[in-house]
């Protein structure tokens, strides 16, 4: 019998604990063997919840642990590059959350390190494992709606931005915070790279921040043209309050495929005033809970079966390029041309 893959979670915050719960809830063929986080309180809480006893406060020490076969990198994005390179050099397989890194060059280094050391590298675009998004892709590939003409995808998040999010030159704003998943979905559905990107953004919900952060925007629209001629439209917003809202549409020559719903469940109340009520989706953590579990299982399966990850380092890099170029388009107020999905100059 093959031995279980021994995994260390590096970064035990919001998203990290979703992966921890996947492993605790039963990703087959793997065991959550260690946790790493520099925050003593966070590490303690994660240990108490999971029952994991091997704890690290510094990720450098994880790399020296020969019992660890794979790492799940869920630190703040600025650390992804160094942690991934170090894990690959130590011969550990890598699951890395999105955004992959800060620059295209960093992504190239991460991809090369994993290839050289013959370890798997899977990126955290969990929508590719969501049942509805996958079904949309299956129907598209089966030609159910004819040839694809236009793909739309939106992500709107409910929460008030944290203070650091207002500085968009460092932290992107919604185009990186919420839309990086949409960029991946559109590349996946279109089966092509982006040729032109034109994005526009405005601050509607936090006017009191406009003086200190004149470039901050909370709402954006992104127009795309793919090399195979397919058109794309992504919209994004933060602080919408009404819930988490992620849906896509694929318009073909013979029909339309609609993916996703705002409903948290199928229960509806209809009252005498002839009003229909139902619960709206609260969070990405609820909507994609099964998708996170499926992506964690797929990562372990690709290690055990020695197959290619379904979401690669290149997918992570290309989505990052679109986030970076999309932000550039907003700030410079102009469309940007790409070549093979990469900046021309
Ligand atoms: N796939 C998704 O839908 C999704 C959703 C949320 C976040 N994310 C990504 O996951 C990453 C983490 O985001 P989050 O929301 O969980 O943030 P978070 O702040 O809740 O958690 C980050 C954790 O990493 C720890 N940390 C900081 N520096 C570290 C280091 N050097 N080594 C190890 N741990 C360190 C922090 O103490 C914290 O516990 C980001 O890259 C984010 O973009 C992805």
Q: Which two tokens stand for residue 181?
A: 């998943």
Q: Which two tokens stand for residue 223?
A: 């127009």
Higher model confidence: residue 124 or residue 102? 124
Q: Which fold has domain 131-283+318-343?
A: Dihydrodipicolinate Reductase; domain 2 (3.30.360)
Distance of alpha carbon 90 from alpha carbon 97, whole angstroms: 19
pLDDT in the model for residue 54: 98
Range of weakest confidence among 155-169, 178-192, 214-228: 155-169
The residue whose CA is least distant from atom 21 of ligand 1 is: 13
- Residues 5-62 have pLDDT tens digits of 999 999 999 999 999 999 998 799 999 999 999 999 999 999 999 999 999 999 999 9
Atom of ligand 1 nearest to the CA of 125: 1
The domain limits of the chain are 5-119, 131-283+318-343
Band (345; pLDDT cuts 50, 70, 90): low
Mean pLDDT of 67-91: 96
Distance of alpha carbon 45 from alpha carbon 17, whole angstroms: 10
Q: What is the pTM of this model?
A: 0.94
Mean pLDDT of the chain: 96
Distance of alpha carbon 279 from alpha carbon 32, whole angstroms: 34
For residue 203, is it left (φ>0), alpha (ψ between -120 and 50) or beta?
beta
Higher model confidence: residue 170 or residue 27? 27
CATH H-level, domain 5-119: superfamily: NAD(P)-binding Rossmann-like Domain (3.40.50.720)
- Residues 287-320 have pLDDT tens digits of 999 999 999 999 999 999 999 999 999 999 999 9
pLDDT above 70 (res 3):
yes
pLDDT above 90 (res 186):
yes
- In this structure, the residues whose C-beta lies within 6 A of any atom of ligand 1 are 10-16, 36-39, 42, 59, 74-77, 79, 97-99, 124, 126, 284
* Residues 6+ positions from 123 with CB-CB distance below 8 Å: 96, 97, 98, 100, 309, 311, 312, 313, 315, 316
Other CB atoms within 10 A of residue 283 CB:
15
Q: How far is the CA of 177 from the centre of ligand 1 (A)?
A: 12
Structural contact between residues 217 and 200, judged by C-beta atoms closer than 8 angstroms: no
- The gap from C-alpha 30 to its chain's centroid, in whole angstroms, comes to 22
Other CB atoms within 10 A of residue 251 CB:
17
Structural contact between residues 34 and 50, judged by C-beta atoms closer than 8 angstroms: no
pLDDT in the model for residue 1: 66
Q: How far is the CA of 16 from the centre of ligand 1 (A)?
A: 6
């Amino acid at each position: 019998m093959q031995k279980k893959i021994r995994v260390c979670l590096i970064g035990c915050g919001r998203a990290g604990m979703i992966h921890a719960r996947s492993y605790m809830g039963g990703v087959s063929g793997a065991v959550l063997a260690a946790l790493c986080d520099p925050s003593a309180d966070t590490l303690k809480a994660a240990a108490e919840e999971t029952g994991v006893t091997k704890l690290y406060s510094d990720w450098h020490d994880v790399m020296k642990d020969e019992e660890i076969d794979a790492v799940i990198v869920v630190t703040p994005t600025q650390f992804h590059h160094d942690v991934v390179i170090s894990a690959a050099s130590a011969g550990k397989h890598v699951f890395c959350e999105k955004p992959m890194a800060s620059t295209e060059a960093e992504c190239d280094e991460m991809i090369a390190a994993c290839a050289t050391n013959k370890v798997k590298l899977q990126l955290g675009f969990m929508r590719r494992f969501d049942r509805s998004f996958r079904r949309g892709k299956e129907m598209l590939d089966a030609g159910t709606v004819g040839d694809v003409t236009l793909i739309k995808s939106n992500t709107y998040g409910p929460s008030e931005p944290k203070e650091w999010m207002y500085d968009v030159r460092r932290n992107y704003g919604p185009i990186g915070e919420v839309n990086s998943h949409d960029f991946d979905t559109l590349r996946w559905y279109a089966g092509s790279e982006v040729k032109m990107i034109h994005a526009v953004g405005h601050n509607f919900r936090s006017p009191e921040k406009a003086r200190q952060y004149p470039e901050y925007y909370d709402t954006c629209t992104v127009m795309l043209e793919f090399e195979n001629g397919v058109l794309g439209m992504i919209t994004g917003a933060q602080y919408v309050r009404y819930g988490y809202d992620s849906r896509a549409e694929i318009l073909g020559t013979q029909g339309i495929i609609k993916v996703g719903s705002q409903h948290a469940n199928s229960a509806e109340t209809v009252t005498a005033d002839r009003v229909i009520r139902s619960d709206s989706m609260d969070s990405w953590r609820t909507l994609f809970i099964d998708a996170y579990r499926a992506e964690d299982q797929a990562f372990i399966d690709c290690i055990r079966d020695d197959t290619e990850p379904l979401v690669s380092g290149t997918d992570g890099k290309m989505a990052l390029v679109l986030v970076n170029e999309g932000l550039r388009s907003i700030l410079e107020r102009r469309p940007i041309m790409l070549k093979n999905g990469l900046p021309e100059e």
